[in-house]
Amino acid sequence: MNKDTTTISLTEGCKKNDRLAQKNLYYGYYDAVIRICIANTRNEHDAVEVLNNGFLKVFKNIAAYDAGKGSLYTWIRKLIVNAAIDFLKQRYAFEEVKQPMNEEADVAAVDAMKDKFEEEQVQHILQTLPPATETIFRLFALDGYSHKEIAGFFFISEGTSKWHVHQARVLLKKYLLTAK
């Protein structure tokens, strides 16, 4: 069976609530999406909670998956990221920031970090950021969400989202300068 046939078979089985298909889908994508969950929650226990909540959404909404719009992995990843966002909204208070920020954020710090460190080290470095700042930075810089989308997720202003990204860059740059 090729990958497309397997994907079709799994999605069709999940639409029929076939437990074996659900199990195969869950474990087939587990390694790929658990890293997203761990990166967002900082610990394995919470990551598994997010993963399971995300897969619950996957199984409830599998009929909405449209292979013509993207890969199954991309669709599952989006639901897992949304589950992580829901978890983080419950766990942390995202407050408005009323401080001015420099719009000329230092993007080079992120590129330097990627070049200098391995992925595991980057995850550890990101975890040194304050939780709200880390979450918003990950969504913006790593997951590609816009400030408008992030503001909608957490009921904050776009300016607050921009401030958190700027603050993350400042803190990451300091970290990089001291890590030399």
* Model confidence at 2: pLDDT above 70: no
pLDDT in tens, 66-125: 888 889 999 999 999 989 888 888 877 665 555 544 444 445 555 555 555 676 777 788
Give the separation between CA 21 and CA 144, rounded to whole angstroms.
Answer: 31
Poorest-pLDDT segment among 5-9, 16-20, 62-66: 5-9
Looking at residues 60-67, what average pLDDT do you find? 92
Is-contact 158 136, C-beta < 8 A?
no
